[in-house]
Amino acid sequence: MKDILSELEARREDARQGGGARRIEAQHAKGKLTARERIELLLDEDSFEEFDMFVAHRCADFGMQAQRPAGDGVVTGWGTINGRMVYVFSQDFTVFGGSLSETHAQKICKIMDMAVQNGAPVIGINDSGGARIQEGVASLAGYAEVFQRNIMASGVVPQISVIMGPCAGGAVYSPAMTDFIFMVKDTSYMFVTGPDVVKTVTNEVVTAEELGGASTHTKKSSVADGAFENDVEALAEVRRLVDFLPLNNREKPPVRPFFDDPARAETSLDTLIPANPNTPYDMKELIHKLADEGDFYEIQEDFAKNIVTGFVRLEGQTVGVVANQPMVLAGCLDIDSSRKAARFVRFCDAFEIPILTLVDVPGFLPGTSQEYGGVIKHGAKLLFAYGEATVPKVTVITRKAYGGAYDVMASKHLRGDFNYAWPTAEIAVMGAKGATEIIHRGKSPEEIEAETKHYEDRFANPFVAAEKGFIDEVIMPRNTRKRVARAFASLRGKQLQNPWKKHDNIPL
């Protein structure tokens, strides 16, 4: 019996070593943690339960049968984050460069199936050179099996990808279909074709970092939702994000203890809006002052900064926030901001997370680049996302809400539950000067100026919309937290269903 127990321990120790001490040292030399170290940091202490520790590949070509390390380049299992269950896989770059084989894929598929069956999030830590070439089409089949499970799990359990090394070729499409992607600066990159192929085909000379590094994907392409300085920070932030999310689409998001009075008045908000309607202010100040303990977890902070998305808590309950940012492009909606916000709204709706919308939008950004880029279709994505959402929706208009952009930003007409406005709100088809020039075309500049003043007095306020019932209440800015918290509290029992359909046809 002792011999068997000691053999088990020896085999376990061998599996824990992955590709061996030399390769582990090389991994550390690049500033990267090993697959197991990452899992230890991500999960609660001693909570990890591993699956398939002794699985080895079945390839007999190219002399591969001589090298059959236990685990086959990926560590899989489940554990807890602050006591709540998650499933996790972590690719091991020290074993065949983390390349994906048939058995490697089967290990990942097993925990994804269990995650859907048992209703718990999946967190994938990617650090892989791509498909294992020696296995040929069996490796490609493995990728497709993983892709299919990403699709089936979408909207059922939250899926989070953490890119902590290379992720190239077909491998990028699995993270692309997950809900959130985080990268590590300088050590992770994602691209469909690498710098060498790009140079061969297009003659462009580009580095891996420029082509698919963290900066590229958080600022330019919007593929990634956040980038962090190192593995440790990235994993700590993933833990923080998981705390905001429900385990699956049948459960409500977790409720955390809170030590912040829901009725707290913020007198500074009475002076947040500048006297000049064209002067910008920071919408994040309002978000921080509304949230419990000022805690705001921002998503896609570096992309499309004219709209702000992220999670806060109100009375300990998770709320998704979408807010126009007047500091950037005057808060206009454009292609990028519409895509960013639409995806966020759909995530919240899929997982029963209520949505708070803070509006200060002068309209859609004009210009040929926007029209040629398809702003009509992209803007419709956000409109569609808000209109189909059945979760509680509370909207606060702080200043401008002009034209079609007023409709798009969770207006009463898109089944908004509570639509509040500050006294500084201006709800109109367009700005006073532009409207007056159209209505009173041909009049002298002095007459236009007088008519503009008259138009402002009549329409540059929230009361016309309130008279028609499009605004439920004009509220004092200082009481916004109290009014919004009470609104969401009243909506906790909300039940709304869309007509049956196989699925909708959102303007992709």
Which residues have a catalytic role annotated?
Answer: 169-170, 404-405
Ramachandran assignment for 451, one of left (phi > 0), alpha (psi -120 to 50 degrees), beta (any other): alpha
**How many Å apart are CA 65 and CA 405, to the nearest integer?**
62
**How many Å apart are CA 164 and CA 185, to the nearest integer?**
9
Say if residues 157 and 242 touch (Cβ distance below 8 Å). no
Write the DSSP symbol of residue 255.
B
Residue with tokens 């809400």: 401
- CB contact burial 84-120 (16+ within 10 A = b; e otherwise): eebbbbbbbbbbbbbbbbbbbbbbbbbbbebbbeeeb
Q: Which residue type does 436 have?
A: T
Please give the angle made by the CA atoms of 410, 412 and 413, to the nearest 5 degrees.
Answer: 95
> What does the H/E/C string look like for 156-198?
CCCEEEEECCEEEHHHHHHHHCCCEEEEECCCCEEECCCHHHH
Residue 156 tokens read as 């059922």
Residue 294: how many other CB atoms lie within 10 Å: 11
Please give the angle made by the CA atoms of 324, 330 and 368, to the nearest 5 degrees.
Answer: 105
Residue 237 tokens read as 């932030």
